[in-house]
Amino acid sequence: MAPDEFAAAAAVPLAGGLALSWALEACLSLRPRPPWRRPASAVLLHAGLWMLAFALAWALVRRPYFAAALALAGAGLIVVVDNAKYQALREPFVWADFEYFTDALRHPRLYLPFLGLWRALGAAAGAGAALAAGLMLEAPGLSWAGVCALGLGGAAIAAAAGSRPRRITFEARKDLRRLGLAAALWGYARSERQTKAPPATPFSVPPAAPPEALPDLVSVQSESFFDPRARYPQLRPGLLAEFDALRARACAHGPLRVASWGANTVRTEFAFLSGLDAGRQGVHRYQPYRRLARTGLASLAGYLRGLGYRTVCVHPYHGGFYGRDRVLPLLGFDEFIDISAFEGGAPGQPYVGDRELAARVTGLLARERAEPLYVHVITMENHGPLHWERVDAADEAAVCREPLPADCRDLVAYCRHLRNADAMFGMLASALAALPRPAGLCVYGDHVPIMPGVYRRLGEPSGETDYLIWRPDGTARAPAAPLAASDLGQAFLAHMGLMPAA
């Protein structure tokens, strides 16, 4: 293909596809500024990345219009996923989310129900139509020299524009609106790779002089746990009877500020274990286990190990999910017990239940041992998707004192699991109270559940969860006090006499 023929073949799909790529951005739920209102470097970066993607697709399929359609289909997929994520989690797509594409194939139940059937079918139909049209309606034509020059030019433009400093806040909504999707993703990817030495944490200090008898400790990160009764008076007051009894004699309790809505459990998990808030995590706040947690920073578990504790984490799900099997040992845990140690969920249930999980933990506590024990529990039962669960009149009567609207059955399913979480809290407290040494329990929720229909009809919660810190010898109820998840671990150890209060 001669140079002039190549230019003629490339001009329309290249320029038209670039214009359409910006039009796709206008389909985002959180719409970015138009290109002429963005920083020039962000516009050039977008254009350079488009040129590179177009050239790679052209080299693959040998048809320029088909190549543009493929590149646009890839961008369109990100837009569809972004909108689904924003609807469910109130957060746009960020660079760290790319790993969830492979996670969705390994753990489809955790992701695909929130994408939605019609979105999935529409994306599949669009991809199939583009593939058929491209192969049947366009004849192949390719100049390797031209395509290579186009791709290298796009890469050079993207690299030059992407290396220019831009003000990135790591607040995903703000960055997307100001920079656009491509530039925001590029900026987060570049920042993530610039991880340096691990930051200091509240647990970087030498262990304090311990009390004469070290207490056994259990912390429970309860999946999607919060107390919904104040927000939804239709629920029975006794829904969380065990939690109420513990709260009545708690060292501390109240609302817990967490960094996510509806999902992204590891954000609260890491905040609790590291003591680092979102500001100190920077770009890693969206998925701290990808890089930051692997840098060898000091953690709550490592601090306790320095005092002579045996540290164990129990999570009844696949150990490779979020890379916990590799990350948790780096965060100071001697042992990680995952789903391979369990027989599986109850009949008809997709996850290991909280009562079975509590039985496993009480077994660990009851073992004969010389050293104190710390067990961090990450539950799974109430993960959802709640809208996939069936509930009947008996389920509703068990958790509600008055009927709910028909489109609020998610709340019944959620509260059915809350009753099991509540039983778990009571089982663990009883086991700790029966131990020969002092003991302490910390319970908290990682985020509120995904229940969009309930929130539309009955109102939405604040996004805060609930926490409590309890010890068997506690007698007086402390007043409710709000706390951030990043401060909870230090507060727990302080109430157990293991480190100074913050």
How far, in Å, CA of 343 to CA of 357, rounded? 11
Q: Residue 345 — very low, low, confident or very high, per pLDDT cuts 50/70/90?
A: low
pLDDT at 114 exceeding the cut of 70: no
Q: Residue 105 — very low, low, confident or very high, per pLDDT cuts 50/70/90?
A: confident
**Which pLDDT tens digit goes with each residue over 411-427?**
999 999 999 999 999 99
Sort 232 into a burial class: Cβ within 10 Å, 0-12 / 13-18 / 19+. Answer: middle
Q: Which one is predicted more confidently, 374 or 63?
A: 374
348: left (phi over 0), alpha (psi -120 to 50) or beta: left
pLDDT at 134 exceeding the cut of 70: no
Q: Residue 485 — very low, low, confident or very high, per pLDDT cuts 50/70/90?
A: very high
pLDDT score recorded for residue 452:
93
pLDDT score recorded for residue 131:
65
Q: For residue 312, list its beta bridge partners.
A: 335, 375
Are 166 and 187 a contacting pair, CB within 8 Å? yes
Among 131-135, 325-329, 452-456, the minimum mean pLDDT is found in 131-135
Which tokens go with 21? Answer: 């790529």
How far, in Å, CA of 85 to CA of 83, rounded? 5
pLDDT score recorded for residue 349:
79
Mean pLDDT calculated for residue range 397-416: 95
Q: For residue 220, list its beta bridge partners.
A: 377, 443
Asked, as a colleague might, if the bond just before 385 is cis with ω within 30 of 0, I would say yes
pLDDT score recorded for residue 127:
64
**Which pLDDT tens digit goes with each residue over 247-265?**
999 999 999 999 999 999 9
- Concatenated DSSP letters for 236-250? -GGGGHHHHHHHHT-
Q: Which one is predicted more confidently, 127 or 247?
A: 247
Amino acid at 97: D
Q: Residue 348 — very low, low, confident or very high, per pLDDT cuts 50/70/90?
A: low
Mean pLDDT calculated for residue range 477-483: 90
* Mean predicted lDDT score pLDDT of the chain: 91
**Which pLDDT tens digit goes with each residue over 6-60?**
777 788 999 999 999 999 999 999 999 999 999 999 999 999 999 999 999 988 8
Q: Residue 492 — very low, low, confident or very high, per pLDDT cuts 50/70/90?
A: very high
**Which pLDDT tens digit goes with each residue over 273-306?**
999 999 999 999 999 999 999 998 999 999 999 9
How far, in Å, CA of 30 to CA of 271, rounded? 27
Q: Which one is predicted more confidently, 377 or 110?
A: 377
How far, in Å, CA of 276 to CA of 116, rounded? 34
The three-class DSSP label of residue 1 is: coil
CB atoms within 10 A of CB 264: 22
pLDDT at 220 exceeding the cut of 60: yes
* pTM of the complete model: 0.93
pLDDT at 164 exceeding the cut of 80: no
Helix (H) or strand (E) holding 483: strand 483-484
Are 74 and 21 a contacting pair, CB within 8 Å? no
Are 346 and 353 a contacting pair, CB within 8 Å? yes
- Concatenated DSSP letters for 426-481? HHHHHHHHTSSS-EEEEEEESS----HHHHHHH----S-EEEEEE-TT--SPPPP-
Mean pLDDT calculated for residue range 169-188: 95
Which tokens go with 286? Answer: 């969206």
Among 95-99, 136-140, 402-406, the minimum mean pLDDT is found in 136-140
Count each helix (H run) and each strand (E run) in the chain, helices first.
19, 8
**Which pLDDT tens digit goes with each residue over 56-101?**
998 888 888 888 988 998 999 899 899 999 998 999 999 999 998 8
How far, in Å, CA of 489 to CA of 87, rounded? 31
Domains by residue range for the chain, with CATH: 3-192 (no CATH), 216-495 (3.40.720.10)
Q: Residue 1 — very low, low, confident or very high, per pLDDT cuts 50/70/90?
A: low
Cα angle 369, 326, 262; round to 5: 100
**Which pLDDT tens digit goes with each residue over 179-210?**
999 999 999 999 998 867 789 999 998 887 77
pLDDT at 482 exceeding the cut of 90: yes
**Which pLDDT tens digit goes with each residue over 456-479?**
999 999 999 999 999 998 766 789
Which tokens go with 7? Answer: 């230019």
Mean pLDDT calculated for residue range 299-319: 96
How far, in Å, CA of 485 to CA of 267, rounded? 9
Percent of the chain with pLDDT over 90: 72
Of the candidates 395, 370, 269, the one whose C-alpha atom is nearest the C-alpha of residue 323 is: 269
Q: For residue 216, list its beta bridge partners.
A: 439
Secondary structure string (H, E, C) spanning 148-216: HHHHHHHHHHHHHHHCCCCCCCCCHHHHHHHHCHHHHHHHHHHHHCCCCCCCCCHHHCCCCCCCCCCCE
